[in-house]
Amino acid sequence: MITKTLFVLSTFTGFAADTTGLDPAKQYDGSAGDLSVETPALEHAGIRVDGVLDDAAWESAALLHSFTQYEPVEGATESQRTEVLVLVDRDAIFFGVRAYDDNTAGIRATMAERDEFDRSDDYVRFLLDTFDDQRKAYVFTVNPLGVQQDGIWNEGGGSAGRRGGHGPPIDDNPDFLWESDGEITEWGYQMEVRIPFKSLRFVETEVQSWGLQVIRKIQRTGFEESWAPITGNIANRLAQSGKLTGLRNLDPGLFMEINPVLTGTRFGEYDDAQGAFRREDPTGDFGMNFTYGVTSNLTMDATYNPDFSQVEADAGQIQVNERFNLYFEEKRPFFLEGTEIFGMPKQLVYTRSIANPVGGAKLTGKVGSLSVGYLGAIDEAFPDADGLRDPNVLVNIARVRRDVGGASTVGAVYTDRTAPTSGEFNRVVGGDVRLVMARRYTLTVLGAESRSRDADTLSTSVGRMWSARFEQAGRTFSFNAEIEDSQDGFDAGSGFFRRVGETQVQSRMSYNWFGRRGSLVEQVGPSLELQGYWDHDRFWSGGGLQEGQAQGGMRVSFRNNITVWGNHTLGGFTFLPEQYEGLFVEQGDGSLVAFRPDQSLFQGLRGTTLSLWLNNWERVRGNIRATWKEEPIFNGRVAVEPAKSFSADMSVNLFPTRALRMELGLRHTTLDRVRDGVRYSTATIPRMRAQYQFSRAFFVRGIVEYSSQERGDRLDPVLGFPLVWCDVSGCAPRVGANVHDIHLEALVSYEPSPGTVFYVGYSREMDDPEAFGFRDMRPTADGLFVKLSYRFRM
């Protein structure tokens, strides 16, 4: 029992563990490349997950130690000692962590909501590549208080699934059932983690190996350290993991989950005809989610009448001078689970195109080297102002992807949106290849064809698109170049493309210089980015550039998490005469003259952006960005006249206590006409979000957002006469619009585990006649929501 005594002593005192008393065969030095772990196994571990490493089973665990820093100084020794214990029993895999810290007062930990802390708190992250294919891994992240964050690491999948779209390629939307707890001690913090095999998918074989990586983030310094050393000179991060070997006879058993959902709602809306606010009678609804493990590596999900009422409202986006559709992240739970298979180099699958599903089903998983995914749904149309609905649409999406070699893949996708009663449809078929060469270079190619039928004319249109991207990974120098080309007729009905009918070329190169750890300047990174856009037909016939931009940037990171960005751009626009067909200038006598702009006004447009990120204070963190630039005033997708714009975006996170978190945001933009300096548009969107976490499961949240957006009339830039748009239905002036909306949202939620929840929510929309006047405001709509659900696992 000497080992046990030393172990408990190190846990409760603050002295480093005396590893000489442990079995040397079970110690794995990550910095020395000792990365193949023979996994200890017990029949029943009997570990109580309470965040205290005092259970006898930990004596049998393997010890992972000697981490290596990879940010900001690659290859440096760990700044704080980290020890990780790992073992398995018949039902689960267990991790124990001792994270030492010589400044325990600087440990950042909040009693946060699940999946909401990785940019604010210290954490330890576990990556489990259960198929050992170096392409996908489960991600389990725990802060010092045991709060959970989880998701899927999708190598080559970008960071689109991340909140804000930045960071490693982790889709943190999936939620798994697992246990964790932690506590801060006088020497640092410790934690325990239990992950049931039922929450994982893996191959069916008697003996197998899993990829394993453990990462520790120290927020106050920005240091990131890993057990298996990481270098930016290798494109595939999962290929740099260690291994859990000797995993035998893993069996998740019967895996089935049933998640019934009861909801109650009451809606109110302002009746313009009656001049009064009216509320509907309360209504109740029932929905059901079902998950079944077909095999240990295939999962089927189904939903009936899915409930999305708990989804937080999208943050306001400025829409006063937009040329293209805005993108909104998917937040609805059914569509988020297991959808990493549908990720592609271009978004041929965008599940928010399924706007009002009646029901749906999914099958996802991996068979050998083949990843497969199917999603089907019935999408019910929303009623129009007269209460009429378009026909329901049947949605089918199928995706396959095969592993090739060590890290490459080849795949195909098929999407179909069909309205059976009208004969309208949209179908897309596509294929993609991702080749990783010499571990450092990546070539990604995608091609797709769409075929669509219009319900009114029953005519069929066909369009094609393709893209290719080459990337060189590098710690100091990195480079990428990409081309995307699409025909006018290309229509991804189940996807999302901001621009079609164009050929786009872009490239970016960057260099990073790194200072020594602890130096005033830790990183300096100059970069150059080039972008060019052509009309598709003109590009292939040798026509000139339609839109281009060159951007030089600089990023400087200082000690203690202070980062400054800056860039300067030079760009220009050229618009084809046929793009202005239908746009006229209304003369003083009422006659209409075709509008044609002076193209020289849209050349040599300049812009400058400055940004500051502060993360060195414990209670206050945030960033601010300001941009000054010259840009066109747009009518739809074409330019009318040049303008000078200013925009500012500020976000501040406040942490008054470990349980209270506040987010203050402000977005502001102005657009002034160059010809006379008159303000064309202004938009200001302040937003406040406050959340108090009584426990890991119970919180209250409030959101207040004010959206003030004003846009003037679009005028001829020479004489100032009104612009008029004419089509087969007639002519209409391009008049401005003023909108001053207030959104209020409150939520009380108790969620002990994903899928098991009780909450009451209320939202209210109000109209302010004058920007920030706060007089004569009237409610336009409100809603009260109550939800009760329970996730049964068998």
Burial class of residue 771 in the structure, from the number of CB atoms within 10 Å of its CB (0-12 exposed, 13-18 middle, 19+ buried): middle
The identity of residue 256, as a single letter, is M
Q: Quick one: pLDDT at residue 397?
A: 97
Query: Cα(150)–Cα(115) distance, rounded to whole angstroms?
Result: 7
- Count CB-CB contacts under 10 A for residue 155: 21
Task: Report the alpha-carbon distance of residue 488 to residue 410 in Å, rounded.
Answer: 27
Q: Mind listing the pLDDT tens digit for each residue in 4-50?
A: 333 333 333 333 334 445 577 689 999 999 999 999 999 999 999 99
Residue 430: the pLDDT is 97
C-alpha pair distances (Å), 359 with each of 281, 341, 393: 25, 20, 12
Which pLDDT does position 320 carry in this prediction?
53
Secondary structure of residue 325 in the 3-state scheme: coil
Cα–Cα dist 361/383, whole Å: 24
pLDDT at 271: 85
How is residue 724 written in tokens? 């008029």
pLDDT at residue 34, rounded to an integer: 96
pLDDT single digits (tens) 654-707: 999 999 999 999 999 999 999 889 999 999 999 999 999 999 999 999 999 999
Predicted confidence at residue 25, as pLDDT, reads: 67
Amino acid, single-letter form, for residue 374: Y
Q: Which residues contact 673 (CB under 8 A, 6 or more apart)?
A: 633, 641, 642, 643, 679, 680, 717
Cis ω on the peptide bond leading into residue 252 (within 30° of 0)? no
Contact between 233 and 440 under an 8 Å Cβ cutoff? The reply is yes
Q: Is the pTM for the entire model greater than 0.85?
A: yes
Per-position DSSP letters for 252-320, written without gaps between them: --S-EEEEEEEEEEEEEEEETTTTEEEEPPPEEEEEEEEEEEEETTEEEEEEES---TTSPPPPP---S
Q: How far apart are CA 282 and CA 621, in angstroms?
A: 42
Q: Report CA-CA distances (Å) from 420 to 361, 392, 453, 455, 494.
A: 19, 8, 12, 10, 17
The total number of residues shown for the chain amounts to: 794
Cα 622 from Cα 653, distance rounded (Å): 6
pLDDT score, position 544: 87
Q: Which residue reads 């899928």 in tokens?
A: 755
Cβ-proximal residues to 384 (8 Å cutoff; 6+ apart), any chain: none
pLDDT at 395: 96
- Name the burial class of residue 428, with classes exposed (0-12), middle (13-18) and buried (19+) by CB atoms within 10 angstroms of its CB: buried
455 and 462 in contact (C-beta within 8 Å)? no
Distance CA 95, CA 153 (A): 19
β-pairing, 27-29 vs 62-65, is parallel
Q: What does the pLDDT look like over 600-652, one tens digit per residue?
A: 889 999 999 999 999 888 899 999 999 999 999 988 878 899 999 999 999 99
Judging by DSSP bridges, how do beta strands 36-38 and 170-171 pair with one another? unpaired
**3-class SS letters over 554-608:** EEEEECCCEEEEEEEEEEEECCCHHHHCCEEEECCCCCEEECCCCHHHHCCEEEE
Q: Which ranges of the chain have pLDDT less than 70? A: 1-22, 25, 157-166, 307-328, 331, 384-389
Please report, for residues 287, 322, 637, the alpha-carbon distance to residue 778 in angstroms, rounded to integers and kept in the order given.
Answer: 34, 28, 34
Candidates 476, 437, 444; CA nearest to 231 is 476
Q: What is the mean pLDDT of the chain?
A: 89
Give the C-alpha separation, 321 to 397, whole Å.
34
Task: Give the CA count within 13 Å in the CB-facing half-sphere of 331.
Answer: 14
Amino acid 159: pLDDT:
43
Please give the pLDDT value at position 384.
65
- In this predicted structure, what is the pLDDT of residue 321? 57
| CB count in 10 Å sphere of residue 634 | 17
Strand partners, 324: none
